[in-house]
Chains A and B, each alone.
Chain A
C-alpha cells in the first residue's frame, strides 16, 4: 500500500507540475468527455437494460449530495445521519410551489427551495450543534425521519400518495445531436437516435444529466474557493480540536452552523433538481436508507477530499445500475465491499492529501528512529 500511495503522489506531482494552460486544457477536455459520455454510449460503461442518461443523471445527484455532505462531515467533522431530510425539504418545496399549491416556474421555485433548506439547516443546527459527537448523529437521524413522517401524515404535503406534475426546467430546443451506435463493434454515428439540445422531456434524460453535471461543476468550483479560504481553515481547526480552535479566535459554533447550513443548501438544490426530473415525489423517495447511502458515498470516497467523495458517489449510484443482473446480491456485495474497505483503506479510497502526507511522514520518522533526529522526541517521551 505504501508503494501505491507514493506512486499516486508522484502522479499528482507530475500533474500539478504541468504549465497552467496545459492543465486548463486538460480540464476542458475532461469536462467535454463527461458531457459527451451519454452520447458516446461506450460499451462496458453504458448500462444495458437501463436508460444510460437516466443513470448518469442519478449519478450527478449523488455527486451533488456527496459534495454537500462532505462539507458537513468531511470539512467540519459533524456526523450527519439525516442528510436526506434536507434533500426532502428541497424536493418538497419545489414540488409544492410548482404543482400542488402554486404554478411557479422551476427556476423561481428552485432558489426558494434552497433557501428553505438553508433555513431548515439553521433551525436544526442552532440547538443541536452545541452538543458534540454522538448526540449530533442521533439528533440528525431523528430529523431525517421526522421530515419524512411529516410528509406522510400531512394532507397538505400529499401524504403517502405524494405530489405529481412537478415542473420541468424550461426547454430551448436548439439543435439535434446524434448518438454513437456500437452494435457492430465499431462506433457509427446514428442519426435515428439523437438528443435535442436542450429539451427537458419525458423520455430522453440526457439533458437532465447535462444540467446535473453543470451544477456539480459549479458546486465543485465554489467548494474549492470556500475550502481554500479562511472559512475552510476555520472548519479544519474546529474539526481537529474545538477548544484549541476557540483559543485561536475561531467562533466554532458559528462556523459549524455555517458548514451545516451550506451543506443543507447543496442538499436542497439536489432535492429540487431530483423532484423536477422525476416530476413525481412521495415519502418513499426519502427513506433513511438514502441518508446511509449518501454517507457511504462520502466515507467510501474519502471524506474531506472533494474528488474522492465524487468517486464514492459514482460507485454508490452507478455500480448497482450497471450490474442489475446481480440485483439480488446487491446489498450483500455492498456490505462486503464496505468491510473490505474498512480493513484495507480505512480513510476511504482517496483520502485528503493531508492524511496521506501525515502517514508518509510518520513512516519516514519511523525509519529515522535511532538516527540523531529522533532523540529529542524519545527523550521527551521518556521524561
Chain B
C-alpha cells in the first residue's frame, strides 16, 4: 500500500475538522475523496502533506510512519501536492514556477530534469506557449495546469490534487480530468479531492465519501457512481 491513513483526527481549536478517518491509496491507483463544502476534504489533504498537525491517528507512506514529518521531508519522500486554489507563485514566470516544483531535487542540470520539464510541457502545451510569462497574468485554467505541472516536477510517487476543477469552465474540467488520467497512466499514483463528484467518480478506481468530517461510504468509483443514494445526494440525480 502506497499511502495508509489510519484513525486520523484533526482539530481547528475546539472544532473537530475530521474524525477518525481511515483509508488506503493503493500504488498505481486513482483514489478520490468527495464531499460537500466543509466535509473535511482539504483538511485531510493538508494533513497528508504535513501542513496540519494531527490530534490522533497515523499517516504511513510506503509503510513508513510520516505522521509528524515536516512537509518538506514528505516532498523528498515522494508526496507532492497541487493545493486548493492553485497557489501558483504569481510573481514568477511559468518556468520559474515549474523549477520551484523541482526544489527538492539536486539534478537541475541533468537530462532527467530536462526530460521531466519536457514531459510536463507535453502534458500542458499551454504552459509551453507561456513559459516566460508571469503566472499571475494567466487564467484560472492555466494556473491550475501550472499547479499540477509544478507538483509533477518533484517526480512524486503520489500526487495530491485538491479541487483541480474548482472555478473552471466545463470544457476545461474535461481537459483537466483527461490529463489526470494520463498522469496516472504514466505511473504516478493520484489522490484526488473533488466537489465535482460526477467527474471524480468516473476517473477514480476507489472512492470515499466524506460528510462532516467522517467517511460515510467507500467503494469502487464506478460502483458509487451507480448507487442511487449517492446519485441523489452528490450527482444531482442526472448522471
Residues of A within 8 A of B (CB): 230, 233-234, 236-237, 240-241, 243-251, 354-355, 357-358, 361-362, 365, 374, 376-383
Q: Are A361 and B75 in contact (CB under 8 A)?
A: no
Q: Are B83 and A358 in contact (CB under 8 A)?
A: no
CB neighbours (8 Å) of A354 from chain B are 91-92, 134
In the assembled complex, the Cα of A250 lies from the Cα of B99 at a distance in Å of 12
30 of the cross-chain contacts (CB-CB < 8 Å) are A233-B96, A233-B100, A234-B103, A236-B91, A236-B92, A237-B92, A243-B83, A244-B89, A246-B51, A247-B51, A247-B75, A248-B154, A249-B104, A251-B72, A354-B91, A358-B91, A358-B134, A358-B137, A361-B134, A365-B137, A374-B139, A376-B141, A376-B142, A376-B172, A377-B138, A377-B139, A379-B172, A380-B140, A381-B139, A383-B170
Which single member of A230, A240, A243, A247 contacts B90 (CB below 8 Å)? A240
CB 8 Å contact bits of B61-82 with A (1 = contact, 0 = none): 0000000001110011000110
Q: Are B87 and A233 in contact (CB under 8 A)?
A: no
CB neighbours (8 Å) of A251 from chain B are 70, 72
In the assembled complex, the Cα of A358 lies from the Cα of B92 at a distance in Å of 9
Counted as pairs of residues, one from A and one from B, with CB atoms less than 8 Å apart, the total is 107
CB neighbours (8 Å) of A362 from chain B are 136-137
In the assembled complex, the Cα of A16 lies from the Cα of B155 at a distance in Å of 35
In the complex, how many angstroms separate the beta carbon of A242 from the nearest chain B beta carbon? 10
In the assembled complex, the Cα of A2 lies from the Cα of B24 at a distance in Å of 55
A247-B134 contact in complex given A233-B100, A376-B142, A383-B168, C-beta closer than 8 Å:
no
In the complex, how many angstroms separate the beta carbon of A223 from the nearest chain B beta carbon? 19
Which residue on chain A has the smallest CB distance to residue B75? A249
Q: Are B91 and A247 in contact (CB under 8 A)?
A: no
Q: Are A247 and B167 in contact (CB under 8 A)?
A: no
B233 in contact (CB, < 8 A)? no
CB neighbours (8 Å) of B239 from chain A are none
Q: Are A377 and B70 in contact (CB under 8 A)?
A: no
In the complex, how many angstroms separate the beta carbon of A354 from the nearest chain B beta carbon? 5
Give the interface SS of chain A, mostly helix, strand, loop or mixed: helix
Q: Are A377 and B90 in contact (CB under 8 A)?
A: no
A248-B75 contact in complex given A236-B89, A358-B134, C-beta closer than 8 Å:
yes
CB 8 Å contact bits of B3-27 with A (1 = contact, 0 = none): 0000000000000000000000000
- Which 4 A-B pairs have CB atoms at the shortest separation, nearest pair first? A377-B139, A249-B75, A249-B104, A380-B140
In the assembled complex, the Cα of A225 lies from the Cα of B138 at a distance in Å of 30
Which residue on chain A has the smallest CB distance to residue B108? A230
Q: Are A247 and B137 in contact (CB under 8 A)?
A: no
In the complex, how many angstroms separate the beta carbon of B144 from the nearest chain A beta carbon? 9
In the complex, how many angstroms separate the beta carbon of A258 from the nearest chain B beta carbon? 14
Which single member of B50, B88, B100, B168 contacts A380 (CB below 8 Å)? B168
Residues of B within 8 A of A (CB): 49-51, 70-72, 75-76, 80-81, 83, 87-92, 96, 99-101, 103-104, 133-134, 136-142, 150-151, 154, 167-172
CB neighbours (8 Å) of B92 from chain A are 236-237, 240, 354
Which single member of A237, A248, A377 contacts B141 (CB below 8 Å)? A377
Q: Are A237 and B140 in contact (CB under 8 A)?
A: no
In the assembled complex, the Cα of A382 lies from the Cα of B169 at a distance in Å of 8
Q: A236-B91, A236-B92, A381-B167 are in contact. List 9 more A-B contacts (CB 8 A).
A: A240-B89, A247-B81, A248-B103, A248-B104, A249-B71, A249-B76, A354-B92, A381-B139, A383-B169
Which residue on chain B has the smallest CB distance to residue A382? B169
Which single member of B133, B150, B168 contacts A248 (CB below 8 Å)? B150
CB neighbours (8 Å) of B137 from chain A are 358, 361-362, 365
In the complex, how many angstroms separate the beta carbon of A245 from the nearest chain B beta carbon? 8
CB neighbours (8 Å) of B71 from chain A are 246-247, 249
Q: Are A376 and B134 in contact (CB under 8 A)?
A: no
Q: Are A377 and B96 in contact (CB under 8 A)?
A: no
Q: Are B72 and A246 in contact (CB under 8 A)?
A: yes
In the assembled complex, the Cα of A362 lies from the Cα of B90 at a distance in Å of 12
Q: Are A247 and B80 in contact (CB under 8 A)?
A: yes
CB neighbours (8 Å) of B169 from chain A are 376, 379-380, 382-383
In the complex, how many angstroms separate the beta carbon of A247 from the nearest chain B beta carbon? 5
Which residue on chain A has the smallest CB distance to residue B137? A361
In the assembled complex, the Cα of A235 lies from the Cα of B125 at a distance in Å of 29
Which single member of A233, A234, A243, A383 contacts B51 (CB below 8 Å)? A243
In the complex, how many angstroms separate the beta carbon of A380 from the nearest chain B beta carbon? 4
Q: Are B133 and A237 in contact (CB under 8 A)?
A: no
In the complex, how many angstroms separate the beta carbon of B64 from the nearest chain A beta carbon? 17
